[in-house]
C-alpha cells in the first residue's frame, strides 16, 4: 500500500517573523513611494509599475528563503517470516497420527510438513500476512515450497546454526520472526541451547508429538530420559541432588531402574514407577561424590523388553565436584596493612573458609566482633577442623602457654602453620619463648638479646633455586620467566631478623644484601618451609607483601602475582597444592563433533608439575583407545609432539555416526604388566546417518526449549488449535518505508529571469513616462 503526502517547505525561513517583517516592510515602502508618484502624475500606469516592482522583490525574497515542494510516499511492506525446514534424515520417520486435518498415517514427517506448508489454512494465512523466505537446515534458500528437496536426506542437524544462517542471510531486512519446522533432533551433541538467547527474533517452533503410530503398534512403550537438572558445582563428600526428567509414550504401567553413572561405575540407583499411558515424571536422585574433579555423568533408565529404541534412555550432564573448603584461622595482633590486604584476598577465594581474630583493645587475648576468646579456641577438637593457621604479629603473652602446646601438637598431627613476620612475634619476647619455636624452620638470631630486630632496607623478593621449583611459587611452566616476574614486583620494606635455616628446612627466598649475624651462613631468610611431624610450617619474615597488590591496582593492573602467591601458599600449607586440582593427564580432541570420515585429532597432555608415585619420565608411555558406539575398542597410535615433550598426538577416522569416547592411560613403563599411573576419558560426536536414524522418536523438548529461550511458542503440527493460537501470536507489523522527493524553485533560472525582466521593464517604463 502506497500513501502520498505533499507540502511546501522553506529551507532558510527561520525565524519566520523576521521574513514577514521584511516582506511587509518592503511592500509598504513600495506602496508609499509609488503613491507619491501617482499623486504627482495622476497616471494609472504607476500602480502597474508598483505591482511589477513588488513581484520582483518577492522573487528575490523567494530565492533567499529557498522554497521547496516536498512530496512523500509511504510504502507499507509485509514483514518477512524466515521459515526453516528440517530436511534431515530423521524426518523420514513416520509422522504421528493426531486430530489434525492433515493426518496421513503412512506419510513421513517431511511429507506431512510439506503438505502443511502447501495446503493448510494456517499456512495460507501466513502467506497473506508475511513474506515467507524458506531455508533448509544447511542454510540454502528456496523461492517456494515446490523448490524444497523432494526427500529429506541431510546427514546431520544443527538447529542453532540453521537459525543463525537464515538470520544472517536476511540481515538488514524487516524480519518479524522465525518459524522452525522440525522433529527436534539435533545431532551436534550440545548440552545447552542457551546460546540461542543471542538470536534477536522470536522463534516459533512446529514439531511432532512423541507417539509414532507405526512404532507404537508393533513395539512396547518407549522410555526416555528427557533431561537432567543438576547444579553446576557441588562439594565432595556432600549429598548432591539432581532432577532427572523421564517419560513414557504409552502402554501399560512400567517399573524400571534409573541410575546415575560415571563411566561404568553406578553412583546411585532408584526404581521409577511410570503409570499406564503416556507419562512424564521428575525423579530426584541424590548421591554423594567421593572425589573432586570435573565429570561427565549419565542418567540412564534400563531399557525394557520390546522398547523400540534404547538410545534415548540416557542423558549426559556435566558436574564439577569441588574439594572441601580450606579452613583457615588467621590470628593477628594489630590491624596492620598486611592483615587488611591478606584477609580481604582470602575471603575472595571461593575455596577458602576464613576466620580472623584480632587482639582486643585491652591488649590481652584475642577477640572477634568484640567478644574476648580464651584458650578454648585452640582446643584439639576445634583445631582438628582447621587446615591452616596463620599467626600474625603479636607478643607471646597474647596467647597462653597451653595454647602454644596445643598448636604444636596439632602441627605434628598434620596441621599447616605459617608465621607472618613483624615487629613483635620474632623478637626475644615473641614465639621463640613458646613450644612453637622448635617447629619453626629457622633458628632464633644468634644475638637474640640485640635491640636490632629488623632489616629495614627495601629489597627485591628473590627466589632461590628451591623457590623456583616450589609449587607454591610457580607462576608458569618456565622458571626463567617466573624469576623475571618475581624480580619486577614492588620492593618489600624490610624483614624481621632470624637465624640460620635449620637442618631439613627449605629456603625459598632470601634477602639480596642482608646476612646472618654469624659469618659464612649466607643471606638472611625471607621465606622458608619445613615438614614437622606430619604437618608443615612456613615462615615469612617480611610483612609488606600487600605492596604487590596496592601498587598494581594503583597502576590499573590486576594484582595477579599477589593473588597467586597467597592462594598457592595456602593450598600448599593445607596439602592441597594447586597442582592437586590439575589432572596428571588430560585428553582432548580438536573439535566436539565431526562428520563421518573426518579426521579426529586426539591430544594427550601430561602435566609436568603433578608428581605421580613410581613415575619415571624416561619410561612413561601413553596408550590411547577409542570406543565406538558399538562398544568396540580401537587402538590409536600416538607420537610425542615436536613442540612439547609432555604432549602426544594421534589421529582417528570414524566410519560411522554416533557418540565416541577416548580413553587415555599413562603407563609406568612399556612392559605389558606395567602399572597405570593416570587415566582420563573424553567424548566426541560423529554426525552421520546413524545419529539421525537411531532414534525414531521426535524430540519436542528441544523445540520447546528453543522457543522459550527466544520468546516464541512451540506447537504440535497435528494440533490445529495450538497452531492457530501460535500463528495469531506472530507479530506482523508492516515495515513502512518513506520516500521523499523535493522540487526546489529558489535556484531555478526562470526565477532570476523573472526578477531581471520585471525590474528592468519597470525601470525602462518609468523613465520613458517620466514617472519619478
Q: What is the DSSP string of 140-207?
A: -EESSGGGS-SS--BS---HHHHHHHHHHHTTTS-EEEEEEE-----TT--S--GGGGG-SS-EEEEE
Q: 53-62, 167-176, 467-476, 660-669: which range is least confident on average?
A: 53-62
User: Could you report the per-residue pLDDT of 321-342, keeping only the tens digit for each?
Assistant: 776 788 899 998 888 888 999 9
Over residues 271-279, the mean pLDDT reads 90
Could you tell me the CA-to-CA distances from 438 to 392, 431, 516 in Å, in that order?
18, 10, 19
Q: May I ask the CATH architecture of the domain 79-209+698-733?
A: 3-Layer(aba) Sandwich (3.40)
**CATH 3.40.50.410 placement within the chain:** 79-209+698-733
Q: Which pLDDT value is given to residue 631?
A: 75
* Whether the Cβ atoms of residue 323 and residue 234 lie closer than 8 Å to each other: no
Return the residue matching grid coordinates 635455616. Answer: 501
Q: Looking at per-residue confidence, does 630 or 382 come out higher? A: 382
Average pLDDT on 696-701 reads 80
Q: Which residue has the higher pLDDT, 264 or 586?
A: 586
Q: What backbone phi and psi angles, to 5 degrees, belong to 471?
A: -65, -30
| Per-residue model confidence (pLDDT) at position 410 | 92
Q: Residue 370: what pLDDT? A: 36
Model pLDDT for residues 6-20, shown as the tens digit of each residue: 566 666 667 777 777
| pLDDT value of position 205 | 92
For residue 757, what pLDDT is reported?
77
- Confidence band (pLDDT; 50, 70, 90) for 553? confident
Q: What mean pLDDT is predicted for residues 672-692?
A: 70
pLDDT recorded at residue 390: 93
Cell 518609468: give the residue.
766
Query: Which pairing describes strands 676-687 and 714-716: parallel, antiparallel, or unpaired?
Result: unpaired
Alpha helices (H) along 75-158: 109-119, 121-129
Tell me the CATH class for 585-692. Answer: mainly beta
In the CATH hierarchy, which top-level class contains the domain 214-319? mainly beta
- Mean pLDDT for 343-347 is 89
pLDDT > 70 in the chain, percent: 82
User: Over 80: is that where the pLDDT of 373 sits?
Assistant: no
Report, as an integer, the average pLDDT of 537-548: 91
State residue 673's pLDDT score.
63
Query: What integer is the mean pLDDT of 25-53?
Result: 79
* Rounded-to-integer distance, Cα 725 and Cα 182, Å: 18
Topology adopted by domain 326-575: Rossmann fold (3.40.50)
Per-residue pLDDT of 563-610, as tens digits, reads: 888 988 998 898 875 444 456 678 888 876 777 778 899 998 887 655
**Placement of cell 614492588 in the chain:** 490
Question: 417-451: per-residue pLDDT in tens?
Answer: 999 988 888 888 888 889 998 899 998 887 655 55
With a CB cutoff of 8 Å and minimum separation 6, the contacts of 55 are 754, 758
- Average pLDDT (532-540) is 91
Residues 392-413: tens digit of each pLDDT = 988 888 888 888 888 999 999 8
**pLDDT tier at 193 (50, 70, 90 boundaries)?**
low
Residue ranges of the chain assigned to CATH 2.60.40.1930:
585-692
- Cα pseudo-dihedral 652, 655, 657, 661, rounded to 10: -30
User: Is there a contact between 388 and 354 (Cβ–Cβ < 8 Å)?
Assistant: no
∠ CA 130-136-142, nearest 5°, is: 60
pLDDT at 579: 44
Comparing 577 with 715, the larger pLDDT belongs to 715
| pLDDT bucket at 259, cuts 50 / 70 / 90 | very high
SS (H, E, C) 537-589: EEEECECCCHHHHHHHHHCCCCCHHHHHHHHHHHHHHCCCCHHHHCCCEEEEE
Boundaries of CATH 3.40.50.880 in the chain? 326-575
Q: Give the C-alpha separation, 269 to 286, whole Å.
A: 9
Residue 220's pLDDT is what?
Answer: 64
Q: What is the mean pLDDT of residues 50-72?
A: 75
pLDDT on residue 605: 85
Q: Could you read off the pLDDT of 75-124 as tens digits, one per residue? A: 778 899 999 999 888 888 777 655 444 555 557 888 888 889 988 888 89
Amino acid at each position: 500500500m502506497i500513501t502520498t503526502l505533499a507540502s511546501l517547505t522553506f529551507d532558510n525561513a527561520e525565524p519566520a517573523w523576521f521574513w514577514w517583517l521584511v516582506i511587509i516592510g518592503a511592500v509598504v515602502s513600495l506602496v508609499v513611494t509609488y503613491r507619491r508618484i501617482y499623486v504627482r502624475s495622476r497616471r494609472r500606469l504607476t500602480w502597474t509599475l508598483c505591482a511589477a516592482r513588488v513581484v520582483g522583490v518577492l522573487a528575490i525574497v523567494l530565492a533567499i528563503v529557498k522554497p521547496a515542494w516536498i512530496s512523500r510516499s509511504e510504502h507499507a511492506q509485509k514483514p518477512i517470516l524466515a521459515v526453516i525446514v528440517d530436511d534431515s534424515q530423521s524426518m523420514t520417520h513416520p509422522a504421528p497420527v493426531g486430530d489434525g486435518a492433515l493426518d496421513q498415517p503412512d506419510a513421513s514427517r517431511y511429507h506431512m510438513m510439506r503438505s502443511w506448508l502447501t495446503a493448510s489454512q494456517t499456512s495460507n494465512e501466513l502467506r497473506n500476512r508475511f513474506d515467507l523466505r524458506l531455508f533448509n537446515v544447511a542454510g540454502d534458500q528456496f523461492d517456494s515450497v515446490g523448490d524444497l528437496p523432494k526427500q529429506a536426506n541431510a546427514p546431520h542437524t544443527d538447529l542453532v546454526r540453521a537459525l543463525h544462517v537464515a538470520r544472517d542471510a536476511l540481515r538488514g531486512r524487516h524480519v518479524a520472526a522465525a518459524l522452525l519446522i522440525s522433529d527436534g533432533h539435533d545431532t551436534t551433541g550440545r548440552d545447552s541451547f542457551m546460546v540461542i538467547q543471542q538470536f534477536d527474533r522470536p522463534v516459533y517452533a512446529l514439531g511432532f508429538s512423541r507417539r509414532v503410530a507405526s512404532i507404537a503398534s508393533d513395539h512396547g512403550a518407549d522410555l526416555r530420559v528427557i533431561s537432567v537438572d543438576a547444579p553446576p558445582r557441588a562439594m565432595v563428600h556432600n549429598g548432591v541432588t539432581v532432577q532427572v526428567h523421564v517419560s513414557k509414550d504409552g502402554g501399560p504401567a512400567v517399573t524400571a531402574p534409573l541410575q546415575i553413572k560415571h563411566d561404568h561405575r553406578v553412583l546411585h540407583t532408584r526404581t521409577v514407577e511410570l503409570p499406564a499411558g503416556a507419562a512424564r515424571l521428575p525423579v530426584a536422585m541424590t548421591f554423594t561424590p567421593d572425589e573432586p574433579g570435573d565429570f561427565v555423568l549419565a542418567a540412564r533408565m534400563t531399557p525394557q523388553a520390546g522398547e523400540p529404541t534404547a538410545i534415548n534412555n540416557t542423558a549426559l550432564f556435566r558436574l564439577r565436584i569441588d574439594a572441601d573448603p580450606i579452613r583457615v584461622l588467621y590470628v593477628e595482633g594489630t590491624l596492620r596493612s598486611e592483615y587488611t590486604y591478606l584477609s580481604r584476598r582470602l575471603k575472595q577465594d571461593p575455596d577458602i573458609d576464613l576466620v580472623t581474630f584480632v587482639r582486643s583493645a585491652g591488649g590481652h587475648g584475642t577477640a572477634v566482633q568484640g567478644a574476648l576468646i580464651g584458650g578454648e579456641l585452640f582446643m584439639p577438637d576445634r583445631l582438628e577442623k582447621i587446615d591452616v593457621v596463620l599467626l600474625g604479629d603479636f607478643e607471646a603473652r597474647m596467647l597462653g602457654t597451653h595454647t602454644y602446646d596445643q598448636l604444636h601438637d596439632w602441627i605434628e598431627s598434620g596441621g599447616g602453620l605459617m608465621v607472618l613476620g613483624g615487629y613483635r612475634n620474632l623478637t626475644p619476647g615473641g614465639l621463640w619463648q613458646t613450644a612453637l619455636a622448635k617447629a619453626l624452620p629457622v633458628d632464633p638470631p644468634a644475638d637474640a638479646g640485640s635491640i636490632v630486630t629488623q632489616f629495614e632496607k627495601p629489597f627485591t623478593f628473590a627466589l632461590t633455586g628451591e623457590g623456583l621449583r616450589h609449587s607454591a611459587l610457580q607462576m608458569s611452566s618456565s622458571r626463567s620467566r617466573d624469576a623475571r616476574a618475581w624480580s619486577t614486583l614492588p620492593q618489600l620494606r624490610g624483614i624481621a631478623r632470624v637465624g640460620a635455616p635449620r637442618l631439613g628446612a627449605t629456603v625459598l627466598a632470601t634477602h639480596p644484601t642482608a646476612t646472618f649475624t654469624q659469618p659464612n651462613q649466607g643471606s638472611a631468610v625471607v621465606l622458608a618451609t619445613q615438614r614437622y611431624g606430619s604437618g608443615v610450617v612456613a615462615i615469612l619474615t617480611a610483612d609488606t607483601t600487600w605492596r604487590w597488590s596496592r601498587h598494581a591496582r594503583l597502576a590499573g593492573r590486576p594484582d595477579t602475582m599477589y593473588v597467586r602467591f597467597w592462594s598457592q601458599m595456602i593450598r600448599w600449607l593445607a596439602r592441597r597444592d594447586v597442582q592437586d586440582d590439575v589432572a596428571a593427564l588430560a585428553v582432548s580432541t580438536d573439535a566436539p563433533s565431526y562428520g563421518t570420515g573426518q579426521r579426529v585429532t586426539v591430544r594427550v597432555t601430561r602435566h609436568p608439575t603433578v608428581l605421580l608415585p613410581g613415575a619415571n619420565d624416561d619410561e612413561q608411555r601413553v596408550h590411547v583407545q577409542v570406543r565406538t558406539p558399538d562398544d568396540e575398542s580401537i587402538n590409536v597410535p600416538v607420537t610425542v609432539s615436536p613442540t612439547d615433550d609432555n604432549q602426544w598426538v594421534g589421529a582417528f577416522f570414524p566410519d560411522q555416526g554416533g557418540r565416541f569416547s577416548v580413553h587415555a592411560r599413562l603407563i609406568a613403563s612399556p612392559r605389558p604388566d606395567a602399572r597405570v599411573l593416570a587415566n582420563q576419558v573424553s567424548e566426541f560426536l560423529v554426525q552421520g546417518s546413524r545419529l539421525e536414524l537411531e532414534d525414531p522418536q521426535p524430540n519436542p523438548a528441544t523445540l520447546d526449549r528453543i522457543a522459550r529461550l527466544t520468546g516464541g511458542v512451540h506447537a504440535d503440527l497435528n494440533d490445529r488449535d495450538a497452531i492457530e493460537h501460535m500463528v495469531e501470536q506472530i507479530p506482523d507489523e508492516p515495515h513502512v518505508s518513506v520516500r521523499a522527493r523535493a522540487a526546489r524553485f529558489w535556484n531555478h533560472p526562470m526565477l532570476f529571469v523573472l526578477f531581471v525582466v520585471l525590474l528592468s521593464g519597470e525601470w525602462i517604463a518609468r523613465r520613458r513616462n517620466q514617472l519619478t
